[in-house]
Amino acid sequence: MKLFNITYILAFISVLGLNAQQMPAAKQSEAVSILGATAHIGNGEIIENSLIIFEDGKITKVGDAAAAASQAKGEIINAQGKHIYPGFIAPNATLGLVEIDAVRATDDEDEIGEMLPHIRSLIAYNAESQVTETMRPNGVLLGQIAPRGGFISGTSSIVQFDAWNWEDAAVKTDDGLHINWPNSVRRGRWWMGEDPGIKPSKEYQENIIKLKSFFAEAKAYLAGDRKESNLPYLAMESVFNGDKKVYIHVNGEKEILDVIQFKKDEKLDDLVIVGAYNALKVADELKANNIGVLTGRPHSLPNQDDDDYDLPYKLAAELSKKGILVGIEGSGSMERMNSRNLPFYAGTAAAYGLDKEEALKLITSNTAKILGIDEFAGTLEEGKDATLFISEGDALDMRTNILTDAFIQGRKINLDTRQTKLWKRYMEKYERQEAEE
């Protein structure tokens, strides 16, 4: 009986091992020099024949290989004919918060309640998520893990995708507060006998008053003696003193204008709009108030019948041309699995009005600036983290985004996932069939 139990336990552990995420890479131990690749810096610049050197997890040299090849040291990677990029950044993601939608025990993306500024998504982040692992073969190496639900959803944090646990993963903790702005219109509830058309929402102004009241109450509490502990109010202190950004999820034209007024009333210096479907209609106001935008995924259908058929495809490009700081986020249906398509969202923006290097900025330097991590991420520059990858071709094109090497903070990561293993397995199957025929 004892032997049976031991055998069962070993078998169970072996199954877990097969399904667990790749083991995090060891700390960088020697310098790495990448020679000859076309370097896409992430700020609009390109170095055709580049030399990139990094040590102790930091980039120490970015230059032209023809002039500086003699400076190469440590492990030398010959990347002639290939391309090197900074790691792509997925903002407003729920990666690591939900593993299987149908299994409630694996779903930690939201909490019960309306006003939840004290909820921290980071402590629920699962660093061993198999879904998160699949981001890496496409070059998505960093992400902002954001909560969902409620009026005020809680606080996001930014992580890198090669870690033992959430403490190791965090690169910026509690970076911003997420607010779901109410809608000024709603669809009639046909099941209650209402006209199914769109009509003004009677609760819209009430909900805005509710939000403003919460802000006022939190300020009053923080200005008082604080004798009684109130976690939601205490969590607002970092918002009021500017340590946290405010991310407001909003799409409608009227709603965006109301958000701009809310920013002024509450003196919120660092506010970002997420979603922003109708932002183009109020682009001048956004520019005048220095508000950054994370547009929704381009691979979507128009929301209204009279919208341009290609509005979702070109929105990021049109806003960028207006001088607005723009990034791309991918929330929505199957958002965790679809987050791996982030580079192809940027590729779509390039196909609909942006220069290719400008489109790259939507998922590198622009997003880094919006999230407040541009000091160490988003571009290939000396002094920044060596979070980067080498691709056989254009990383914004799904046909040529084929990674050969990837590094997170200088650590060479494993690009194998359950999906890549299955792909190789079935490719071998069909190759055998062709050989037999």
Long-range interactions of 372-378: CB distance < 8 A, separation 24+: 372/172, 372/175, 372/245, 372/270, 373/89, 373/142, 373/158, 373/171, 373/172, 373/175, 376/171, 377/86, 377/87, 377/89, 377/142, 377/171, 378/42, 378/86, 378/89
**Has residue 24 got a pLDDT over 50?**
yes
Calculate mean pLDDT across residues 181-185.
Answer: 90
Phi, psi of 112 (to 5 degrees): -75, 135
Calculate mean pLDDT across residues 411-416.
Answer: 92
Compute the distance between CA of residue 18 and CA of residue 11 in angstroms, rounded to an integer. 11
Calculate mean pLDDT across residues 262-285.
Answer: 95
Positions of E strands within 58-214: 58-64, 75-78, 83-86, 88-93, 140-145, 152-160, 170-180, 185-187, 198-200
Written as one letter, the residue type at 176 is G
Q: How many residues does the chain have?
A: 437
The Cβ of residue 272 has, within 10 Å, a number of other Cβ atoms equal to 23
Compute the distance between CA of residue 184 and CA of residue 65 in angstroms, rounded to an integer. 56
Tens digit of each residue's pLDDT (9 = 90 or more) over 87-99: 999 999 999 998 8
Tens digit of each residue's pLDDT (9 = 90 or more) over 155-174: 999 999 999 999 999 999 99
CATH 3.40.80.10 is right for the domain spanning 90-376: no
Query: What does the pLDDT read at residue 333?
Result: 84
Closest CA to 357 of 320, 392, 329: 320
Range of weakest confidence among 12-26, 88-102, 229-243: 12-26
Query: What does the pLDDT read at residue 21?
Result: 59
Better-scored residue on pLDDT, 228 or 86: 86
- Return the C-alpha torsion angle 106, 124, 377, 359, nearest 10: 40
Compute the distance between CA of residue 222 and CA of residue 173 in angstroms, rounded to an integer. 22
The Cβ of residue 321 has, within 10 Å, a number of other Cβ atoms equal to 15
Written as one letter, the residue type at 361 is K
Residue 292, helix vs strand vs coil: strand
Query: What does the pLDDT read at residue 195?
Result: 76
Crossing angle of the two packed helices 311-321 and 342-351, in degrees rounded to 10: 70
Better-scored residue on pLDDT, 198 or 161: 161
Task: Tell me how far CA of residue 210 lies from CA of 181, 245, 251, 433, in angstroms.
Answer: 11, 21, 20, 65
Task: Look up the CATH number of domain 23-87+378-415.
Answer: 2.30.40.10
**Has residue 137 got a pLDDT over 80?**
yes
**Domain residue spans of the chain:** 23-87+378-415, 90-376
User: Mean pLDDT in the chain?
Assistant: 91
Phi, psi of 150 (to 5 degrees): 75, 180
